[in-house]
Amino acid sequence: MVNSVGSSGIFQPLEGDDPRAIAGYRLTAKLGAGGMGKVYLSYTPGGRPVAIKVIRPEFSEDAEFRRRFKQEVQSAQRVQGLFTAPVIDSDADGPSPWLATAYVPGPSLSAAVAEHGRLPVPTVLLLVAGIAEALQVIHGAGIVHRDLKPSNVLLAADGPRVIDFGIARAADATSLTSSGVTVGTPTFMAPEQAAGSTISPATDVFALGQVAAYAAIGTPAFGEGTSHGVLYRIVHEEPDLTGLPEELRELVGRCLAKDAADRPSVAEVIELCGAASGQTQLRRPEDWLPSAVAADITTRTAAPAPVQTPPPPLEAPTAGAPARPAQPPAPPAQPPAQPAPAVPPVPTQLNHPQTPPPGFGPAAYAPTVGATAQGTPAAAPAATGPTPTASAPTVATPAGPTATGPTAAYPAAAAPAPQPPKKKRKGLVTALVLVCLLAFAGAGGGVVYALMKDHTQTKQDQADGSTKAKNSGASATPSTDPTATPGGDGTSTPAAPVQDPTPVDFKNINLPDDYHLSMADESMKPTNSDNDTDVDFSYQDNSYSDDQVGTENGKLVLLNPGEQGSLDTCRNETRFTESILTKQLTKGAQICLTTDYGHVALITFKGFAPKSDPSSYMTVDVRVWRNAVQPKQD
Number of domains in the chain: 2
Cα 616 from Cα 42, distance rounded (Å): 47
User: So what's the pLDDT on residue 419?
Assistant: 43
Q: What CATH number corresponds to the domain at position 160?
A: 1.10.510.10
What pLDDT score was predicted for residue 498?
Answer: 57
User: How many other CB atoms are there within 10 angstroms of residue 593's CB atom?
Assistant: 23
Q: Residue 215: its pLDDT value, please? A: 97
- 281 in a structural domain: yes
DSSP conformation class of 237 = S
Q: What are the CA-CA distances from residue 230 to residues 95, 115, 122, 234, 244 (Å)?
A: 36, 24, 29, 6, 20
Whether 410 is covered by a domain: the verdict is no
Residue range(s) defining the domain that contains residue 228: 21-298
Catalytic residue check, 541: no
Q: Which of 224, 243, 219, 248 is nearest to 234 (CA)?
A: 224
What letter does residue 84 receive in the DSSP assignment? B
Between strands 579-581 and 98-102, the pairing is unpaired
* Percent of the chain's residues with pLDDT above 70: 62
Looking at residue 183, its pLDDT comes to 47
- Using only the alpha carbons of the chain, give its radius of gyration: 31
What pLDDT score does 611 carry?
76
Residue 531 falls inside a structural domain: yes
> Which segments of the chain have a pLDDT < 50?
1-8, 173, 175-183, 303-490, 492-496
Q: Decide if 589 is inside a domain.
A: yes
Last residue of a domain, one of 298, 331, 362: 298
- In angstroms, the CA 4 to CA 111 distance is 9
Per-residue pLDDT reduced to its tens digit, 544-591: 567 899 999 999 999 987 788 999 999 999 989 999 998 888 888 999
Structural domain includes residue 596: yes
The answer to whether position 25 is within a domain reads yes
**Model pLDDT, residue 355:** 38
Do residues 402 and 365 lie in contact, with contact meaning Cβ atoms separated by under 8 Å? no
- C-alpha 292/C-alpha 301 separation (Å) is 16
Q: If you ran DSSP here, which 8-state letter would residue 65 be given?
A: H
Phi, psi (5° rounding) for residue 577?
A: -155, 165
Please say whether the beta carbons of 274 and 281 come within 8 A.
Answer: yes
Listed residues 298, 317, 332: the one ending a domain: 298
Structure confidence at residue 368 (pLDDT):
36
Q: What residues contact residue 308 under an 8 Å CB cut-off, 6+ apart? A: 13, 14, 20, 27, 28, 358, 359
**Local structure of residue 289 (DSSP, 8 states):** S
Decide if 7 is inside a domain: no
**Catalytic one among 17, 91, 93, 147?**
147
250 assigned to some structural domain: yes
> What is the separation of C-alpha 488 from the centre of its chain, rounded to a whole number of angstroms?
46
Where a domain ends, among 298, 326, 357?
Answer: 298
Report pLDDT for 301: 66
Q: Alpha-carbon distance 169 to 472, whole Å?
A: 61
Angle of the 291-298 helix axis to the 109-116 helix axis, nearest 10: 120
pLDDT for the residue 634: 65
pLDDT of residue 173: 45
Cα–Cα distance measured from residue 137 to residue 209, given in angstroms and rounded to the nearest whole number: 18
Q: On the CB side of 540, how many CA atoms lie within 13 Å of its CA?
A: 17
Distance, CA of 574 to CA of 197 (rounded, Å): 47
User: Contact, 57 vs 135, CB < 8 A?
Assistant: no
Strand partners, 579: 550
Return d(Cα 281, Cα 600) in angstroms, integer: 52
